[in-house]
Amino acid sequence: MSPGPVLTYLDHAATTPMRPEALDAMLPFLTDRFGNPSGSHRPARAARRAVDDARDVMAEALGCEPGEVVFTSGGTEADNTAVAGALACRPGSVAVAPAAEHQAVLAPVEAAAGRLVGVDGTGRVDHDSLSAALGPDVAVVSVMLANNEVGTVTPLEEVVVLVAEHAPGAVLHTDAVQAFPWLDVAPAAAAAGLVSVSAHKFGGPQGVGALVVRRGVALAPLLRGGGQERDRRSGTSNVAGIVGMAAAARVLQGDRSEVVARVGALRDRLADGLLAAVPGTVETGVGGAWPNRDHKVAGSCHLCFDDVEAEALLFLLDQAGVCASAASSCASGAAEPSHVLAAMGMDRARAGGSLRLSLGWTTTEADVDHALTVVPAAVARLRQARL
């Protein structure tokens, strides 16, 4: 079934439309250039060269050596590998992560009986809580660079100091999946020994990502088998996906600052417009001690509407041609309120009326105009129905 025309796509944090350059780069590898890069004949060697070239591009974008890039099936695999792989190298050790991490980090941490630590009202890790959870038994600390629901960026410099002081044997992992479209991850994640990214969040295809494993970091593989990726991730390489990811990264490295400036202005107009048009609206993690949006990625607009149920609002928005999300895309549809908002200390009632509008490289002024018409009308209709 065709989903019909998408009028206003404001769910870039869930997945982005592909950059045309990425699709163009992939197509030959889905047709005549189909070799398996592990082989020895000419088509295989050609595929291997393409993967190596892509590795060079990703290494430059991520600020590491090509040999430190491990291609994965996406952000989830990269995060799981980082947490489980570090723990596996030190039997009896513990993983630590803030409670507002993505499930791709939380689930492996919880499965290994790890420690979750608190966050502040923006979603940033609380330093006292983190320090208290650290110790010589900790093998990995995972702190995301940008939060997928509320868009808050966490500078890692102070985190790495705390880790070095209280858990000197631990490696710092950062989930940079939501940061990469907006930040120069090479300097921003330089303090982390392990870094995860995912292509479909920045104009590449779904189902491919990368984990930076810096030299000297001990990491057991999650997938064992044919020994691909220098034994760090077995399985035939997704050549077209890897090539597409690198093409998207190359374009993004060239125009990121322009996209950030343009989309940031659109986001501000959208957020300010909705706050002005809809009484009883709170912008998540903004206001009080955090008066502006400087701590958020440029594409993130997260609001909570009083007396509105998020799922009903999403339904009306979808009918009116606006694609948005309530919690992280994986959790959307679940009745439970977002674990991120709960960790930030938001009460259930307010969290129940949350809306994530995430802008991206294709977002236009017309999208913002459309959302500024549709969202206030939908909220008003839902509130009217409660009377």
Residues of this chain that bind ligand PLP (CB under 6 A): 74-76, 79, 102, 104, 144, 148, 175, 177-178, 198, 209, 328-329
Rank residues 118 and 241 by Cβ distance to ligand PLP and give the closer one: 241
Question: In this structure, which amino acid lies at residue 34?
Answer: F
> Among residues 81 and 228, whose Cβ is nearest to ligand PLP?
81
Structure tokens at 169: 């044997």
- Which two three-digit tokens encode residue 303? 């609001």
d(CA 256, CA 262): 10
Active site residue 330: yes
CA distance 193 to 333: 35
The widest CA-to-CA distance across the chain, in whole angstroms, is 72
Going by their DSSP bridges, the two strands 281-283 and 300-305 should be labelled as: antiparallel
Instruction: State how far the Cα of 160 lies from the Cα of 69, in Å rounded to an integer.
Output: 21
- Whichever of 14 and 191 has its CB closer to ligand PLP, that residue is 14
**Comparing C-alpha atoms, which of 144, 152, 96 is closest to residue 120?**
152
Q: Tell me how far apart the alpha carbons of residues 365 and 377 are, in angstroms, rounded to a whole number.
A: 19
How near is the Cβ of 197 to ligand PLP at its closest, in Å?
9
Least distance between ligand PLP and beta carbon 107 (Å): 11
Residue placing its CB nearer to ligand PLP in the complex, 103 or 253 = 103
CB 242 within 8 A of CB 71: yes
Least Å distance between CB 148 and ligand PLP? 3
Please name every residue paired with 167 in a beta bridge, in sequence order, or none if there are none: none
* Residue 306 exposure: Cα atoms within 13 Å on the Cβ side: 6
Tokens, residue 136: 């010589």
Residue 126 is classified by DSSP as: P
CA distances to 41, 59, 177 from 36, rounded to whole Å, are: 9, 22, 27
Residue nearest to ligand PLP (CB): 75
Least distance between ligand PLP and beta carbon 74 (Å): 3
Nearest to ligand PLP of 71, 374 (CB atom): 71
C-beta closer to ligand PLP: residue 8 or 198: 198
Find the shortest distance in angstroms from Cβ 301 to ligand PLP.
16
Least distance to ligand PLP from the beta carbon of 280, Å? 28
Nearer to ligand PLP, 250 or 356 (CB): 356
Strand (E) or helix (H) holding 241: helix 239-277
Q: How far is the CB of 352 from ligand PLP (least distance, A)?
A: 21
Helices and strands, number each (H, E), in the chain: 12, 12
Shortest separation between residue 123's beta carbon and ligand PLP, angstroms: 11
- Residues facing residue 177 across a β-bridge: none
The active-site residue, picked from 301, 304, 323, 330, is 330
| Sign, CA torsion 194/198/203/208 | positive
Burial class (CB in 10 A: 0-12, 13-18, 19+), 10: buried
Given the complex with ligand PLP, which of 93 and 148 has the nearer CB atom?
148
**CA 270, chain centre distance (Å):** 22
- Tell me the catalytic residues: 330
